[in-house]
């Protein structure tokens, strides 16, 4: 059983994902906005994050940088499941794996719930073993022409902060 932080602004879609994660034995905390997700992560330490990049107010990439600015969350694997087309992510994709712990990147119109579940399970398996699967192609789906390869960090600076983490 793992704790999943699901960041998805589409409520019906979030309910579908949450139901599947719960049926698989996981605990799910759902947020629709970046700051709400930071607050939830502060109270319920997630084992994995499933993130839509298109969020109201602050975007998902800003969330990633904010989330990984805290030492206790730097090891938490991220699964991106987004409506953002892969070609629009090509410029930022190289920083995802190394700098931001992104373990999979899926384009919603081409990604099934089964594929997202498999990515979550793979990320949890490798996290439990203290490893990163270096052979995973982070993209829409291994073998599709729309895959976005994730390489080493290009050393880009993070965008402005999403917000402050709640003080404990």
Q: Is the pLDDT of residue 110 over 50?
A: yes
pLDDT at 125: 87
* 49 assigned to some structural domain: yes
- pLDDT for residue 96 is more than 80: no
22/57 Cα distance (integer angstroms): 28
* Domain annotation covers residue 157: no
Q: Count other Cβ atoms within 10 Å, centred on residue 117.
A: 18
| Beta-ladder partners of 4 | 28, 48
Q: In whole angstroms, what is the distance from residue 142 CA to residue 144 CA?
A: 6
How far is Cα 146 from Cα 41, in angstroms, rounded to an integer? 31
For residue 120, is it within any domain? yes
- 157 versus 55: which is more confidently predicted? 55
- The structure's pTM equals 0.77
Which pLDDT band holds residue 160 (cuts at 50, 70, 90)? Answer: very low
Which residue is associated with the tokens 């996981």?
26
Out of 25-39, 58-72, 123-137, the most confident range is 25-39
Per the structure, how many domains does the chain have?
1
Q: Please compute the mean of the pLDDT values over residues 110-132 and round it to a whole number.
A: 83
- pLDDT score, position 100: 84
Query: Is 142 within a domain?
Result: no
Q: Is residue 152 part of a domain?
A: no
CATH number of the CATH domain containing 46? 3.40.50.2300
Residue 53 lies in a domain: yes
> What pLDDT score does 128 carry?
66
Averaged pLDDT score across all residues of the chain:
79
Alpha helices in the chain (DSSP H): 11-23, 34-43, 60-67, 86-89, 93-100, 113-128
Phi, psi (rounded to 5 degrees) for 166: -60, 135
| Residue 82 located in a structural domain | yes
pLDDT of 61 reads: 87
Domain that holds residue 45: 3-128
């Amino acid at each position: 059983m793992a704790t999943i932080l699901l960041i998805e602004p589409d409520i019906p879609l979030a309910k579908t994902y949450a139901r599947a994660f719960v049926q698989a034995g996981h605990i799910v905390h759902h947020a629709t906005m970046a700051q709400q997700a930071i607050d939830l992560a502060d109270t319920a330490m997630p084992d994995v994050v499933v993130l839509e990049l298109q969020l109201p107010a602050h975007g998902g990439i800003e969330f990633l940088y904010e989330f990984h600015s805290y030492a206790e969350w730097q090891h938490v694997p991220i699964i991106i499941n987004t409506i953002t087309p892969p070609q629009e992510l090509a410029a930022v994709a190289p920083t995802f794996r190394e700098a931001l712990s992104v373990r999979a990147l899926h384009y919603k119109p081409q990604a099934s719930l089964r594929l997202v579940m498999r990515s979550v399970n793979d990320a949890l398996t490798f996290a439990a073993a203290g490893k990163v699967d270096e052979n995973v192609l982070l993209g829409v789906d291994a073998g599709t022409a729309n895959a976005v390869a994730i390489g080493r960090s290009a050393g880009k600076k993070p965008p402005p902060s999403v917000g402050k983490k709640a003080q404990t």
